[in-house]
A and B are shown apart, each in its own frame.
Chain A
Amino acid sequence: MELSLEVELVTALLLTLLCCTAVAVVRMRGLFAAVMLMGIYSFLGASWMLLLDAPDVAFTEAAVGAGISSILMLAALSLTTRKAKRPTRSPLAPLLLVGITGAALAYGTFDMPRFGSADSPANSYPHPSYVERTEEDIHIPNVVTAVLASYRGYDTLGETVVIFTAGISVLILLRGSRKRWRNGAGAGASENSSEEETSDVPGDPGDPAAERQSRGEARGEADETARGVT
């Protein structure tokens, strides 16, 4: 059951490139470049998935990771900023934490079944396997589709609902008018009529502006919105 040498070499190359890309993403401060590297990372991951006998997953990853996900990141960059600030804290503590966690995980792998073993628990548990059952029950060649839609239909229904919910959440977060929210919440209001109120120190009892603001808050949401519109 030896893998051929070519496959081994390609795998080793892919894994090396994956690690290099990940490290490059860590070091990169330009977010645009980091997003592009994530696209490359996804493609490399997809290639490895193909070698791991999962073509379905591989081309989902290629379409999602390198396509949709990169576009969304770029859209978010265009709405925020393109450059990350230089990290101010020392990297020592995180490095230590990551090192210890990684070492613990690596220690744990010694009990894991070796790569490609056919008699590992994961590969031998549902018996007869889904491959054999699909041939009997459903007569379609692609076992992944059969398990996805039929044997594990409940899971897939759940996942579809999650996607649906995520879509609604994004619409709720991004659809509303930007101006009104800013004034309503008061957190970032700086360029309109309420400017002199927010720039004052809040909570100062003698300050008429703060008083005015606290009154405004007490008067309720509808009033606040109306104040923001003027």
Chain B
Amino acid sequence: MKDNTILRVVSKLLLPYVLLFALYVQFHGDYGPGGGFQAGVIFAAGFVLYGLVFSLDSVRRVAPARMVELVFATGVLVFAGTGVATMLMGGNFLEYGVLNEHNPSHGQHLGILVVELGVGMTVAAVMIAIYSAFAGRGRA
């Protein structure tokens, strides 16, 4: 599809907004519909669009396979690590209230934000990895 000017231009125009929207969904999830799962999927959809219109190699140049694998492991680690951090600070596993000793509800906010970030990283990276595994198989 690389030769199709309209597709190329339109997708290039759309891409920043797709990624921006994903970030908005990620960090605005406390207030409107959204959160890590949705944001991760939308973020990955942006990469998939890029891969479809340009090529898998261009996706791999932006997000090398090793980096994607690193990100999806880091995401799980961030989530579980938050739980361990709350335990070290004297609470239960994933009890975010202890993250801020003056105001537990602020601690909850922080915990939710971090955990959702972990989810978003894992989901986005796994989806990109799965897509590039399927797309790369055809040429091997």
Q: Which residues of A contact B (CB under 8 A)?
A: 55-56, 59-60, 63-64, 67-68, 71-72, 75-76, 78-79, 137-142, 144-146, 148-150, 153-154, 156-157, 160-161, 163-164, 166-167, 170-171, 173-175, 177-178
Q: Is the CB of A68 within 8 A of B126?
A: no
Is there contact, CB below 8 Å, between A150 and B96?
A: yes
Partner pick for A68 among B93, B96, B127, CB 8 A cutoff: B127
Take A59-B38, A64-B41, A174-B133 as given contacts and tell me if A78 and B138 are in contact as well, using a CB distance cutoff of 8 Å.
yes
A163–B126 touching, CB < 8 Å: yes
Q: B interface, by DSSP: helix, strand, loop or mixed?
A: helix
Check A75/B131 contact, CB under 8 A, given A68-B48, A137-B108, A150-B108. yes
Beyond known contacts A68-B45, A76-B134, A157-B80: 16 more, CB 8 A cutoff: A56-B34, A59-B38, A60-B41, A63-B38, A63-B41, A63-B45, A137-B105, A137-B108, A140-B109, A146-B30, A150-B108, A156-B115, A163-B123, A174-B134, A174-B137, A177-B140
Q: Does the CB pair B72–A139 fall under 8 Å? A: no
- Is the beta-carbon distance between A140 and B41 smaller than 8 angstroms? no
Question: How far does the alpha carbon of A67 sit from the alpha carbon of B49 in the complex, in Å?
Answer: 10
Q: B94 near A157 (CB under 8 angstroms)?
A: yes
With A and B bound together, what is the CA distance between A56 and B30 in angstroms?
11
Interface size class of B (residues with CB under 8 A): 35 or more
What residue in chain B is nearest A50 (Cβ atoms)? B33
Instruction: Name the CB-closest residue of A to B122.
Output: A160
Q: How far is the CA of A148 from the CA of B109 in the complex (A)?
A: 13
In the complex the two chains form, what is the Cα distance from A148 to B135 in whole Å? 32
A3 CA / B29 CA spacing, docked (Å): 28
Q: Does B44 contact A (CB under 8 A)?
A: yes
Interface string of B96-136 (1 = CB under 8 A from A): 10000000110011011001101100110111011101111
Output the least CB separation between A24 and chain B (Å).
25
Please measure, in the bound complex, the distance between the C-alpha atom of A154 and the C-alpha atom of B42, giving whole angstroms.
24
